Chains A and B, each alone.
Chain A
Amino acid sequence: MKAPPFQYHRPQTREELGTLLSSLENAKILAGGQSLMPMMNLRVLAPDHLIDINRIPGLAGIRETPEGIEIGAMTRQADILSSDVVKARLPLLSRALEHVGHIQTRARGTIGGSCCHLDPSAEQPAMCAILDAEFIVTRPDGHRIVPASEWFEGLLQSALGEQEFLEAIRIKPWAKGHGYGFAEYARRHGDFAIAGGAALIEASKDGRITRAALLSFGIEASPRRLSDAEAALIDQPIGKLDLEPAVAAARALDAMEDVHVTPDYRRHLAGVLIRRALNEACTTLERQP
């Protein structure tokens, strides 16, 4: 089908964008269009106004700052995937992006679009959640910073207010040589995942875990950190990890049901995938000499 009629706006500056956002009713921002356009073509959405932010300078790009790595909201998934900075310092994000759609969708799709759309199985917001990213939001009176723990408000619902837009995402990299692991299950490569898991670890010289983060995604409406299981990993020796608390935590989540799988099966996958992710994190961890 074709998109219903709308008025098209193409602001050239953040100020113009701000004015449009505060004056228009039933408006939608158009970033990469890889989620919004399908929904409009399927007539699930019918905004009166489409505000194309593809021509606003400075919204795309990857910068290293003292506060962390800042990825502009309009940075294309393809450019993040090919970034050497991201590969070296945020290897988990790189690894996850290989699973996001296909070369054609990554050429247009943006990290900001994915983090505003918030599909429950989307990899990019999930990686923001495990990496404790900060969402830099622009609003009529300036900026505000939303921590990942407050960004997810439910199914397809971010903390973004009506007159606000996502400017950038800031991520503090973990220590050099940290371990990272990612696992997801999808029916075909590049399809939306049915379930996924991710893990990050740091360890001391004598091989004991000093810091850990664990996350399941695609299970509940929003990605979910497994905080108790993270705490249980501290001080454990690599190679003799007790994986069971992580697996049990993932299996205890309030799993969604959909046309593909039952909640039981999804919980089962959550356990399998968190185990794989954690094992992979142990193998990617570079042992300190």
Chain B
Amino acid sequence: MTERSLTFTLNGQPREAKVDPRVHLGDFLRHSLGLTGTHIGCEHGVCGACTVIVDGSPVRSCLMLAVQIDDCTVETVESLGKPGDLSPLQQAFAANHGLQCGFCTPGMLMTLEAFLRTTPAPTEEDVRIAISGNICRCTGYQGIVQATLDTASTKANRT
């Protein structure tokens, strides 16, 4: 298959790449760019582990082709924080036991990161609906929901 060239912004940096059109965005991030923070679970849109942010919206990277991010802005979990310098949402996940095995965590974080930008003061129900498309087999969701509510209220108190 003929490869296509694309230009895009990834985690704030302008990038160029070539890609085979049948490669989905999640595989492209992991295998071509070496950003293995994004996890691939089901590859048919049901688990949410692969969620990244494209042009401000949370999307399933297994259902988008890499060629489709041409001229787009992509954010992955690597854009949030680093070990020792976690983002507020990541810190809240750690403090509230919002993760155990961590497989669902990148998708949860990117979904909630995008969600909190548009819904800075969510109710518990809002948060539960926001993560209805993300499956976690470990935590029972309670810690994830609490971490999100804590992040929102800490931010509200600071500003």
Residues of A within 8 A of B (CB): 1-8, 10, 30, 33-34, 37-38, 41-42, 50, 52, 54, 78, 101-105, 107-108, 188-190
Contact = CB atoms under 8 A, between A and B. Distances in A.
B44 A42 contact: yes
Contact of A41 (B44, B129, B130, B134): B44
6 contacts: A8-B65, A50-B21, A54-B68, A104-B59, A105-B60, A108-B64
Interface string B118-130: 0000000000011
A185 B115 CA distance: 26
Interface of B: 1-2, 4, 21-24, 27, 43-45, 48, 51, 57-60, 62-65, 67-68, 111, 114-115, 129-130, 132-134
Nearest to A36: B63
Given A34-B45, A103-B111, A52 B63 contact: no
A2 B51 contact: no
A189 B126 CA distance: 12
Nearest to A44: B44
Nearest to A107: B57
Contacts of A7: 1-2, 21
Among B1, B27, B60, B134, max chain A CB count under 10 A is at B60
Given A103-B130, A104-B133, A37 B21 contact: no
B42 to A, nearest CB: 9
Contacts of A37: 24, 44-45, 62-65
Contact of B24 (A2, A54, A102): A2
Contact of B27 (A2, A52, A104): A2
Residue from the set A3, A4, A6, A107 with the largest chain B CB neighbour count within 10 Å: A107
Contacts of A78: 57
